[in-house]
Structure 1
Amino acid sequence: IWNASLKAQKNFNNGLYTMLAYSYLDAKDVNSIEAEITSDAFAGNPIINDANADILAPSKYGDKHRFIGVASKNWEYGNGKWASTLSTFFEYAQGGRFNYTYGGDINGDGSGINDLIYVPTSAEIGQMQFSGAGQGAAFDAYIAQDDYLSDRRGQYAERYGALAPWRGRWDVKFLQDYKITVSEGKTNTIQFSVDVLNIGNLISSDWGLVQQPNNVQPVGVTVDPDTNVPTYTFNPELTETFGYDASLLSRWQAQVGLRYIF
């Protein structure tokens, strides 16, 4: 594992605080376990041939590149009874590692989810047996539009070697405080808060979106038990690697709060 971070921050006399940081992570492991049961973790660990081989490959966890920034400004007024704070946080990162595996058991190990695909050249695709007309040409075009796969032609895809596109996020928080004197020398605070998460998506529906792979098993495969010849299946409608995540990761959210601090 190799990690490096840079950070700069400053507190200003007028109540302004700023921070900017960058981190780089290059982590590798032999199994990015994704299961609670050992047998499931073993069966799901992406491999080429031998599930028992400890092959060092990129780890699923952590962002390769990550920029974060914070800015916060506090105002006090009304003889110290009132205070307002406006804060913002942004993140711009690249991570989201994933695999390309066959939809099927090409190596006969009993698992249909763990076999890393071989990325064929255009000439090799012409020699492959597909289940329908036009599937080979569609698969070739799919590889060509994918930066990672096109760079791996003639080789196997790596375990967690592929990266999702950069993602950006911008959050804003507002706090309003009112101090109440409850006894001599003692004050309590009523605090109202508003948080807007992923505010960029509130401003524009094209901002703050997260992209995810459309299909991490783009190629199906069955193997004839008599001839040991594989037949491949590829959906010609699959033309792009990534699509926009429709979950809350790509949606703006807001929450309000009220606290009594004593």
Structure 2
Amino acid sequence: MDDRPIYAPSDIINNAYVFTNTDKGRIWNVSAKAQKSFDNGLYTMLAYSFLNAKDVNSIEAEITSDAFAGNPALGNVNDDVLGFSKYGDKHRFIGVASKKWTYGKGKYGTTISTFFEYAQGGRYNYTYGGDINGDGSNLNDLIYVPTSAEIGQQQFSGGQAEREAFDAYIAQDDYLNGRRGQYAERYAAIAPWRSRWDLKVLQDFNFNIAGKTNTLQLSVDVLNVGNLLNSDWGLIQLPNSVQPIGVSVDPNTNIPTYTFNPNLTKTYSYDSSLASRWQAQFGLRYIF
């Protein structure tokens, strides 16, 4: 069960924030790359990188109180506990191919280049929507992931329907289901793999002015070509909620009451931003 420390409220203490450096952070990065230029002008490259980064605070905040209140923790937020860093892809494959054709006795040139990415990143964690330990923040308390038996003992504002819905939500989430009987870890959950394919076409028109070659270059960039070809391709999946369960605590008994929305049945949904949509941009360049 959830046995984290509970802090007694006080109305005589004002917050004072002091930040210091730490030497606990570390990064492990391994990468490999293969590339080749062929005699016919074709260039190809394939690379892979693996990243394992840990720090004590991944929050980007301009206000010190936000950095303190938003740093996920189990106990005392003042403790510099090492955990997964929020930033960077754990696995990333990229590929590049490019070739230029020159024709019309050198008057014209066409270059086609493509870039492909297949990566797993987007780290996140699960915190309560509420202050379960009395530290004054509704953002930073990592959830305890109960077993099915423990859920039956917890108090929910919506009764048995919310208990069953929360248990089903945990069961369909690979990370949460694997953490039953334990606390969620800081930024240990990872969003699904994502893929992206971009295409660039350059068309050169060469001509001489006063004995010097000038070039009028037209360009077309198509970002996320896969989504242009098929609306189901090139989509990014994001978590529907990183605070899936709410909590309020009785100040007299310290007994928590949980709230869960039964309509929350899946961890991920497709991102509707431009990152999941194809885009095209056109350019004109004069080279002299």
Pair 1:10-2:36 in alignment = yes
Match of residue 123, structure 1, among 134, 145, 149: 149
Give 3-state SS (helix, strand or coil) of 2:149's partner. helix
Give the Cα–Cα distance (whole angstroms) in 1 for the partners of residues 256 and 130 of structure 2.
Answer: 10
Q: For residue 242 of structure 1, what is the amino acid of its counterpart?
A: Y
Match of residue 269, structure 2, among 231, 236, 243: 243
Pair 1:75-2:91 in alignment = no
Kindly provide the CA deviation profile for residues 162-213 of structure 1, in whole angstroms up to 9, marking residues without a partner as x. 00000000000000011121222x2121100001100100100110000000
Give 3-state SS (helix, strand or coil) of 1:181's partner. strand
Give 3-state SS (helix, strand or coil) of 1:89's partner. strand
Match of residue 155, structure 1, among 172, 182, 201: 182
Give the Cα–Cα distance (whole angstroms) in 1 for the partners of residues 65 and 166 of structure 2.
Answer: 32
Pair 1:217-2:243 in alignment = yes
Q: Percent identity?
A: 75
Match of residue 112, structure 1, among 128, 131, 138: 138
User: Paired residues, what number?
Assistant: 261
Unaligned runs of 5+ in 2: 1-26
Match of residue 145, structure 1, among 155, 159, 172: 172
Deviation at 1:261, TM superposition (A): 1.2
Give the Cα–Cα distance (whole angstroms) in 2 for the partners of residues 180 and 127 of structure 1.
Answer: 81
- TM (norm. structure 1) is 0.98
Give the Cα–Cα distance (whole angstroms) in 1 for the partners of residues 141 and 193 of structure 2.
Answer: 27
TM-align CA RMSD = 0.8
Match of residue 197, structure 1, among 220, 223, 229: 223
> Could you tell me which residue of structure 2 aligns to residue 229 of structure 1?
255
Unaligned runs of 5+ in 1: none
Give the Cα–Cα distance (whole angstroms) in 2 for the partners of residues 169 and 54 of structure 1.
Answer: 37
Displaced runs of 4+ in structure 1, greater than 6 A? none
Give the Cα–Cα distance (whole angstroms) in 2 for the partners of residues 225 and 39 of structure 1.
Answer: 24
Give the Cα–Cα distance (whole angstroms) in 2 for the partners of residues 80 and 36 of structure 1.
Answer: 55
Give 3-state SS (helix, strand or coil) of 2:113's partner. strand
Q: For residue 172 of structure 1, what is the amino acid of its counterpart?
A: L
Deviation at 1:33, TM superposition (A): 2.1
Match of residue 50, structure 1, among 76, 79, 84: 76
- TM (norm. structure 2) is 0.89
Give the Cα–Cα distance (whole angstroms) in 2 for the partners of residues 37 and 131 of structure 1.
Answer: 34
Deviation at 1:43, TM superposition (A): 0.9
